Amino acid sequence: MTQKTQERVVYVNGEYVPEAEARISIYDSALMFGDMVFEMTRSFHKKQFKLREHLARLMAGVKILHIPLNQSVEDLERACLETIERNDPGFAADDEHRLMIDVSRGLLGIYRGVAGLHKGPNVIIADFPLHWTVAGMGKLFESGINAAITSQRAIPAILLDPKVKNRSRVHYLMANIEASKLEGEDNWALLLDPDGFIAEGTGDNFFIVKNKTLITPEGRNVLRGISRAYIMQELAPQLGLPAVEKNIEPYDVMTADEAFMTGTPFCMIPATSLNRVPIGDGKVGPVTRSLLDAWSRSVGVDIVKQIQAWDRQRTADASGAPTPYSFKGKK
């Protein structure tokens, strides 16, 4: 994980600039309105996972927000791969590439007279080490997190559609702050929608396991995660586990056998309690483990061991740059 000396570069509208230069004008619609769609990916053994699916979801958001982007999925994919190629020499051998792909509308009309600025749309592709994002998570694969239902609710799709992955999400941050006020270091916010159904974490999807069946909230008020789809459509069938979308409530979680959250950087994290009520026997369960194993086998990387190894290195290396997630329990 030793950072090499070569500096990372970021793709910005067709050019590659040093990472610290990858910035957005204060007059950009992204900053004025949170008007930016984005994706964040990861690699396994340096090979991007489901990049196409991420880009397709990005393009759906572009269309729905009426951003006049001229590039195709293929164009973006090429740019992603070139960005990785340029940065890889600076990555440690055991590192993985986490891409952040941003598309914003660009300058609002009234600021178009400002000289020296790209009018937009803006396309930005950053590439940084995955271990930043998962720093400190290693132990959570053993203990599981406590899913904490916050007073902050998910905003329902009729008001702000979470299925368009965009940057207007200060309410996720508020939920993270709220969870950080709870006792313990293992609280991850879990949002209910206004109907009381489990929606999602603040950047992750949620599953329960009941009688060997995987159940995840309907796609209504949640980001439809790529990891979520991978489990539903590929891993679960492989393991012969039925997987269904259903409205679920805290009661269903508290009477389930197991639960876990999914997210691109860490794949799956067990959730062993909800508001400190143990889920099942309060331990990481066999279905969760078998899914993690199957995922690891499928991508040729031991997902848990990789993250735990990074944590050990970070602890050993006292200068350990990346602070693990800043609000307690959540990146």
145 binds a second copy (CB under 8 A): no
Taking the C-alpha atoms of 269, 271, 275 and 281 in order, what is their torsion angle to the nearest 10 degrees? -160
Binding flags for a second copy, 11-30, as an x/- string (CB under 8 A): -------xxx-xxxxxx-xx
Tell me the residue length of the chain: 331
Binding residues among 211-240 for a second copy as defined by CB under 8 A: 218, 220
Which span (77-85, 181-189, 232-240, 301-309) binds a second copy, by CB under 8 A? 181-189
Binding residues among 43-82 for a second copy as defined by CB under 8 A: 60, 63-66
Looking at 44, 132, 230, 266, which residue binds a second copy (CB under 8 A)?
Answer: 132
CA angle (268 as vertex; 267, 270 as ends), nearest 5: 165
Q: Give me the DSSP letters along 139-153.
A: THHHH-EEEEE-SSP
Nearer to a second copy, 189 or 284 (CB): 189
Looking at 251, 281, 297, 312, which residue binds a second copy (CB under 8 A)?
Answer: 251
Q: How does 127-153 read in b/e, with b if 16+ C-beta sit within 10 Å?
A: bbbbbbbbbbbbebbeebbbbbbbebb
Q: Tokens 């599981």 sit at which residue? A: 144
115 binds a second copy (CB under 8 A): yes
Which span (45-53, 148-156, 288-296, 299-307) binds a second copy, by CB under 8 A? 148-156
97 binds a second copy (CB under 8 A): no
Dihedral-angle region of residue 179 (phi above 0 means left; psi in -120 to 50 means alpha; beta otherwise):
alpha
Binding residues among 279-318 for a second copy as defined by CB under 8 A: none
